[in-house]
A = this chain, B = another copy of it.
Amino acid sequence: MTTSVDRPSGQPTPLPGYVPPAPIPDGIKDVPGLLRWETTPREEAMALAAELTKESFTYDEVYGRFVTVHQYIDAPPRAVYEYLTDIRHLNEFTYSTRDFAPTDVPDVYQGRDVLLDDVTKIFMRIDGDPDALTVDIRCAWDQGEELWMNYLHRIVPAETVLNKPGSVVIWTNCRHPYYDKNPYPELAPSPERPWVGDMWPLFYAGHQVEMDNLKKILEHRFGGDAAS
């Protein structure tokens, strides 16, 4: 299945009377440096694209500012959404976030992140949009007043984008400046504990592994082939 267009038969037909925009619309006349067909011929654009397409990319080139991991999961989108928005499941699919207890602030939980020691506090709130199937896990180490770490998830029906049942999960972290400098060093359980941002060069690996945990757990429960 893909996105089918609801028309009895045949192709959608353009309505009469259409006037196309000017080749270089007014709104972009003064914008420098655009790469558009009218001003950069096909051959030149293809050559530029080929130049940008390197045989290999360094970690920083790909994951320096944004870390996105992707996964196909053979489970219904709604099931993935329900799973990801239940904070108790963090205990299951993450490597090291555990034991979230509710606090006196609605929807904010306190738990532990045992990635580096046994006592680092992590505060967390999960904001989900059930229609858009977005799940944003907002959290922070040591303190719960600024939840600046954002794990942005989007769940997409695989029917639409891969022509098969199940879900695609897209998970992005953006490099917030606090990753580079702990804004509350005095709240760390010890001055020797490294900062979460020191691990940025391992985020791709760490998040892909947790996404793979998620896939294994959900396919075990919901998957067609996996569950049989």
Chain A residues with CB under 8 Å of chain B are 2-7, 10-15, 18, 20-21, 25, 27-28, 30-37, 40, 42, 45-46, 48-59, 62, 65-66, 68, 70, 88, 91-96, 98-99, 101-105, 108, 110, 114-116, 123, 125, 129, 131-132, 134, 138, 143-148, 150, 152, 154, 156, 160-163, 168, 170, 172, 174-178, 201-202, 204-206, 208-210, 212-213, 216-217, 220-221
Contacts and interface: CB of A to CB of B under 8 A. Distances in A.
Given A4-B145, A30-B220, 10 more contacts: A3-B150, A4-B147, A11-B145, A14-B110, A18-B102, A36-B95, A52-B208, A68-B170, A132-B132, A162-B177
Contacts of A98: 20, 37
A193 B30 CA distance: 34
Contacts of A33: 216
B53 A204 contact: yes
A88 B58 CA distance: 37
Contact of A70 (B68, B138, B162): B68
6 contacts: A5-B125, A20-B101, A36-B92, A48-B205, A129-B132, A162-B177
A212 B36 CA distance: 11
A32 B216 contact: yes
B131 A5 contact: no
A101 B53 contact: no
B34 A217 contact: yes
Contact of A35 (B13, B105, B156, B213): B213
Contacts of A56: 56-59
Nearest to A58: B56
